[in-house]
């Protein structure tokens, strides 16, 4: 005998999630069986609703339940500054900081010739179009500090700079709370390169 | 701005599961958004069905979608041997072994005076009643090898032994593939105590 069919279905569902192997999936499934029925129903509904109700903002491509998204609709935010990020999760990280008052553009990826991802596979053409339409004065490129992110930043800045727009890249350096001793050479070299007068 | 409401609901759902903190929950929720819609719906349905369709077997109290459970119904299994375990997961562990051909009795807990769990709070009275009704000749007590499990095993054996029934406890010793060097004293002492002639 194996698991009764409803359990094995549930275990199978959990196994599809990242970082969850068959043992953890079985543990979670048995936990679900011991949970309050209302909580389980709420969770199941949340799963369905997340797929059904969420879409991408037609302006900035951030994940949203209204179109345009709340950030694009917000009249208190400065429409002249756009921060370009790779992913919706990056928007949420930026928003947690509570210091950026501009708008966003989510690329949904980065240029990576090795993986066959070119500028037209992510929302770069959309960004260029958006820059022509709106009264945008500054572009902050906040793609990830790795090869793909840097390539994307470089590509966008080369396209946009000739138009005279202000284009900047977020700083690289030591993370706050980090330790110089454990910093890698590239980060340290970026930190020296980007030093600021006190 | 925080997460759009459907995402935060989903994150909240994941956070209720054991071993999943807010960061992992957010990662899983975003993964769900990128998943195939059918897979997500199947997963949500599996959650609901697991709660709705599963019940406990009225004979052995193992989790099941039919009553009595498949094991209790199985005519090829020996009804004269009953293995007593603490949990439904233990039945599944035993069944994976594919060597035990008897039936089970799931206690759903162990006697633990510290936590205020007495024999009548778990399915001990039910087991005693079952022993009177059926033609059972042997009882194998496979509760966990810890204080609560041992106390439960001792309690049951004292109740059942006077009736003349064969009562045994699974062996304690070194796990196969284990290392003598790393074994704790209690396990090692049990291993010596339970040594068998070659």
Pairwise CB contact (< 8 Å): B48 & A46: no
Query: Is residue A104 a part of any domain in this protein?
Result: yes
Taking alpha carbons only, the member of A4, A176, A80, A185 closest to residue B92 is: A4
Between A193 and B19, the higher pLDDT residue: B19
**Do A91 and A153 belong to one domain?**
yes
pLDDT value of residue B174: 82
Q: Rounded CA gap, B54 and A27, in Å?
A: 16
Both A36 and A87 in one domain: the answer is no
Domain-embedded: residue B127: yes
pLDDT at B122 (0 to 100): 93
Residue A4 distance to chain B (closest CA, Å): 6
Say whether both B145 and B83 belong to one domain.
Answer: yes
CB contact under 8 A, A39 and B50: no
Query: Residue A92 and residue B3: Cβ atoms within 8 Å?
Result: yes
* Preferred mutation among B4, B11, B52 to probe A, highest tally of A CBs within 10 A: B4
Q: Which helix (H) or strand (E) holds A84?
A: strand A81-85
Are residue A82 and residue A159 in the same domain, yes or no? yes
For A52-91, the pLDDT digits (tens) are 888 899 999 998 888 888 899 989 999 899 999 998 888 8
Alpha helices in A16-172 (DSSP H): 22-34, 37-53, 70-73, 88-97, 124-133, 147-160
- A164 falls in which pLDDT band (50, 70, 90)? confident
Nearest to B141 by CA among B75, B81, B69, B60: B81
**Residues A36 and A82 grouped into a single domain:** no
Size of interface A-B (CB pairs under 8 A): 150
CATH number of the domain within which A136 lies:
3.40.1360.10
Considering only CB atoms, B71 lies closest to which of A1, A31, A43, namely A1
Residuewise pLDDT in 10s, chain B (198 residues): 477 888 889 999 999 999 999 889 989 998 998 888 899 999 999 999 888 888 899 999 998 888 888 899 999 999 899 999 998 888 888 888 888 889 999 999 999 999 999 988 999 999 999 888 767 889 999 998 888 999 999 999 999 888 888 899 888 888 888 787 888 888 888 888 888 777
A84 touches chain B (CB under 8 A): no
Interchain proximity B43–A47, CB inside 8 Å: yes
> Would you call A92 an interface residue with chain B, using a CB distance cutoff of 8 Å?
yes
Task: In whole angstroms, give the CA distance from residue A143 to residue A187.
Answer: 16
pLDDT the model gives residue A155: 93
CA distance B107 to chain A (A): 15
Query: Minimal Cα–Cα distance from A45 to chain B, Å?
Result: 7
Q: Which of residues 2-41 of A touch B (CB under 8 A)?
A: 2-7, 9-10, 12-14, 16-19, 24, 26-33, 35, 37, 39-41
Q: Per residue in A86-145, pLDDT tens?
A: 988 888 888 888 888 899 999 999 999 999 999 889 999 999 998 887 678 899 999 988
Q: How far apart are CA A45 and CA B13, in angstroms?
A: 10
Residues of B with Cβ-Cβ distance to A25 under 8 angstroms: none
Contacts of A97 (CB under 8 A, 6+ apart): none
Task: Compare all CA atoms of chain A with the CA of B94 and give the residue at the minimum distance.
Answer: A1
Contact present, A36 and B92 (Cβ < 8 Å): no
- Phi, psi (degrees; rounded to nearest 5) at A82: -120, 130
Confidence tier at A152 by pLDDT (50, 70, 90): very high
- On whether any CB of chain A is under 8 Å from the CB of B56, the answer is no
B83–chain A nearest CA distance, Å: 15
Nearest to A6 among B24, B31, B65 (CB): B65
pTM over 0.80: no
Structural domain includes residue A60: no
Residue A177 Cα to chain centre, angstroms: 23
Does the pLDDT at position A1 exceed 70?
A: no
B57 vs chain A: nearest CA distance in angstroms?
12
Around Cβ B72, how many Cβ atoms within 10 Å? 18
A192 domain residue, yes or no: no
Percent of chain A with pLDDT over 90: 37
What's the mean pLDDT in A26-54?
89
**Residue A96 belongs to some domain of the structure:** yes
B150 and B89: one domain? yes
CATH number (domain holding residue B11): 1.10.8.420
The total of structural domains in chain B comes to: 2
**Residue B93 has what pLDDT?**
85
Query: Which residues, in sequence order, are CB contacts of A158 under 8 Å at separation 6+?
Result: none
Residue B54 lies in a domain: no
Asked if the structure places residue A136 within a domain, the reply is: yes
DSSP A175: P
Closest-approach residue (CA) in chain B for A99: B1
Residues B87 and B153 in one domain: yes
Whether B51 sits inside 8 A of A33 (CB atoms) is yes
Helix (H), strand (E) at residue A56: strand A55-56
Q: What is the mean pLDDT of chain A?
A: 88
Query: What is the tally of helices (H) and strands (E) in chain A?
Result: 8, 6
pLDDT exceeds cutoff 90 at A196? no
The interface pTM score, or ipTM, of the predicted complex is 0.74
Same domain? A99 vs A31: no
| pLDDT on residue A188 | 82
Shared domain check, B161 and B86? yes
Q: Does the structure show a pLDDT above 80 at A151?
A: yes
B96 and B165 share a domain? yes
- Domain enclosing residue A20, as ranges: 5-40
B95 touches chain A (CB under 8 A): yes
- Which chain B residue shows the shortest CA-CA distance from A20? B28
B45 touches chain A (CB under 8 A): yes
Residue B121: per-residue pLDDT: 92
Residue B49 lies in a domain: no
DSSP string of A57-70? -TTT--EESSSS-H
């Amino acid at each position: 005998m194996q698991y009764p069919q409803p359990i094995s279905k549930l275990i199978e569902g959990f196994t599809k999630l990242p970082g969850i192997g068959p043992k953890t999936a079985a543990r979670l499934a048995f936990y679900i069986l011991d949970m309050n029925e209302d909580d389980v129903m709420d969770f199941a509904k949340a799963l369905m609703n997340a797929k059904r109700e969420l879409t991408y903002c037609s302006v900035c491509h951030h994940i949203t339940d209204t179109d345009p998204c709340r950030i694009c609709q917000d009249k208190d935010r400065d429409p002249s500054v756009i921060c370009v990020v790779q992913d919706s999760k990056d928007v949420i990280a930026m928003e947690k900081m509570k210091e950026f008052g501009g708008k966003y553009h989510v690329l949904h990826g980065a240029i990576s010739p090795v993986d066959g991802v070119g500028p037209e596979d992510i929302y770069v053409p959309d960004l260029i179009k958006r820059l022509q339409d709106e009264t945008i004065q500054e572009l902050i490129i906040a793609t990830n500090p790795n090869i793909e992110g840097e390539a994307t930043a470089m590509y966008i800045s080369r396209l946009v700079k000739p138009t005279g727009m202000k284009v900047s890249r977020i700083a690289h350096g030591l993370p706050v709370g980090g330790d110089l001793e454990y910093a890698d050479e590239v980060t340290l070299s970026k930190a020296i390169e980007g030093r600021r007068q006190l």
